[in-house]
Chains A and B, each alone.
Chain A
Amino acid sequence: MKDEILKTLLLLRDEIQTHLVMSKQERAHIFEAISHAAQHQNQGAADTLVSPYGNQITRKKPLKSHIFFMNYASISLAMCLVIAGSISFAAEKALPGDPLYVVKTNFNENIQSLLTFSSQSKARLEAQLAERRLVEAQKLAVSNNLSAEAEAQIQVNLKKHTDEFTKNINEVKDKENPAAAASLSADFRSRLMAHQNVLDSLENEGTISASNFITEKIASIDSMRKDAEAELALLSPSEVRKAATSKLIDAEEAIRTLQVSIDRPNSISENVRAEVDAHIVVAQGKIAQGVVFDNEEKYIDAYISFQEALLSVQEAERTIATLLNLDVGTDTKDQVIRSVVNRDIPVTTAASAAATSTDQATTTEETIEGE
């Protein structure tokens, strides 16, 4: 029978397609190599390409002849590169006001964004850079060095990063990936929230203005996330379920990270330990509720529950991490942590607006503004 041979071949194809796949690392390595090649204009870039297994894969010219013909020009060029490298390295720790700060923001970080390929990773990078600006503001505020000028500089950069973030998120959404757009916005939100909590506690004029600026940004990011989630809610149940499952994994991972971080010595004081633990229990309750929704095939509700658990835990974890790197008193730390963990988990998803009645959607809006 003709069918029989085709059936066997289909079986072979399916088995090979399932089993013979690249590992995540292999994929990531290749992607990096492509990004690397993308940054080099000349064909010669391939000479230095390193294979995922550490072998050189393209060798066009023998190396030895170069060494003999290395002249003064190339030696001085090499020295310049070494010096430029050390400057760029030293600049990584610069704060606004330092002469090297310009190198950090205009050179180092621009290179980083040049090396970033997809809209998703670009959005992620912009979120990280925005976070860096906030850490800088905090460090300056703690040492009482946050001048109006430095503050303005930080805000300009912060605006630049959030604008870039918005642009890239819109691209992610246009690529019909609302789940990724929602996750990235949610992630950025919890980063901003964490820093805002800390900035508020520092009660410095500069930090108040920065904090107000963040409030504005959080509102705009939230509205982006709501758009993305509303789009997500329109997808097929299996797609929504997939998004919910990955949220569940993220939320559980976030809980683990938080637990590990508070178990470390010198992490948080014993005064707030019980409150943080209670916060984790609330988040676990949210997750359990989400699992029930998932069993009832209410995938969008499950997504919302997991998202809420994730947001609340991530915010706490990031706030604690930020505080750890900051030279402030235990009382201030306790106070900030308390304010985070005792806040009610907000109902912040627009997906809920799509899933529930309009009344509830209005309440959702109010909750966000009330924060």
Chain B
Amino acid sequence: MSVPSQHTQLERAYDEYADALFRFCSLKVRSREKAVDIVQDTFVKTLQYLKGGSEIQNIKSFLYKTAHNLIIDHYRKKTAQSLDEMADEGFDIASDGHEGLPLLSVDAEKALKAIQSLDDTYKDILIMRFVDDLSPKEISELTGLTENVVSVRIFRGLDKLRVILKIKT
């Protein structure tokens, strides 16, 4: 691909996905600053990949995957804090006064807390599906699971949420 068309591809992707990637990262790393860094790194790495002469079929999936890997790297670097510890803390978006994180309405906050309280198996997929608005196909590309497994987890995850939020079926 020619250099200018790479740029346009990435530029368009930036306009379209930068905010979505930022949300994706913010919800995972719990720090606005770090999330912005990861978004930046994601685009720079993607650019370098394109410059290396490689082509990207689906830029959206590629960006999410890169961000996903960078988030994992970020946690790996934090050796002092174990991964389990981080997961146990949960992500209290509304009350911990994180700079730059929004105040949610009561219902939305309850829903988010309920999602956060689920196992990682369901939590990540539900966030990807319902907060990041990714399709099951995109989630399957990102996580390496089959589309079927993703759909089943979404379904079961929703069931678990209903129980927690005491919504009758």
A interface, CB within 8 angstroms of B = 1-2, 4-5, 8-13, 15-22, 26-27, 29-31, 33-34, 37-38, 41, 43, 45-46, 49, 51-53, 55, 57-58, 117-118
**A9 in contact with B48 (CB, 8 Å):** no
**B40 in contact with A57 (CB, 8 Å):** yes
**A37 in contact with B130 (CB, 8 Å):** no
**B43 in contact with A34 (CB, 8 Å):** yes
Interface of A is mostly: helix
Tell whether B66 is near chain A: CB-to-CB under 8 Å: no
Considering the chains assembled together, what is the distance between the CA atoms of A26 and B22 in angstroms?
Answer: 10
A305 nearest CB across to chain B (Å): 30
**A30 in contact with B18 (CB, 8 Å):** yes
Tell whether B59 is near chain A: CB-to-CB under 8 Å: no
Beyond contacts A5-B167, A57-B41: 19 other A-B pairs, Cβ-Cβ < 8 A, are A8-B108, A8-B165, A11-B108, A12-B130, A13-B130, A15-B104, A16-B27, A16-B102, A16-B104, A17-B19, A19-B104, A29-B40, A31-B14, A33-B40, A34-B43, A38-B47, A38-B51, A53-B33, A55-B37
**B14 in contact with A12 (CB, 8 Å):** no
**Option from B47, B102, B162 in Cβ contact (under 8 Å) with A15:** B102
**B41 in contact with A13 (CB, 8 Å):** no
Q: Count chain B CB atoms within 10 A of each CB in A13, A16, A19, A51 and give the residue with the most.
A: A16
Q: Which residues of B contact A21 (CB under 8 A)?
A: 19, 22-23
Interface residues of B in 91-136 (CB under 8 A from A): 101-105, 107-108, 110-112, 126, 130-131, 133
Considering the chains assembled together, what is the distance between the CA atoms of A38 and B130 in angstroms?
Answer: 34
**Option from A4, A31, A51, A117 in Cβ contact (under 8 Å) with B167:** A4
Assess A30 versus B105: contact at CB under 8 Å? Given A1-B169, A55-B37, A117-B11: no
Q: Which residues of A contact B103 (CB under 8 A)?
A: 19
B interface, CB within 8 angstroms of A = 7, 10-11, 14, 18-19, 22-23, 26-27, 33, 36-37, 39-41, 43-45, 47-48, 51, 101-105, 107-108, 110-112, 126, 130-131, 133, 158, 161-162, 165, 167-169
Interface of B is mostly: helix
Considering the chains assembled together, what is the distance between the CA atoms of A29 and B39 in angstroms?
Answer: 11
Considering the chains assembled together, what is the distance between the CA atoms of A41 and B50 in angstroms?
Answer: 11
**Option from B23, B36, B107 in Cβ contact (under 8 Å) with A17:** B23
**B36 in contact with A20 (CB, 8 Å):** no
B106 nearest CB across to chain A (Å): 10
Considering the chains assembled together, what is the distance between the CA atoms of A21 and B130 in angstroms?
Answer: 17
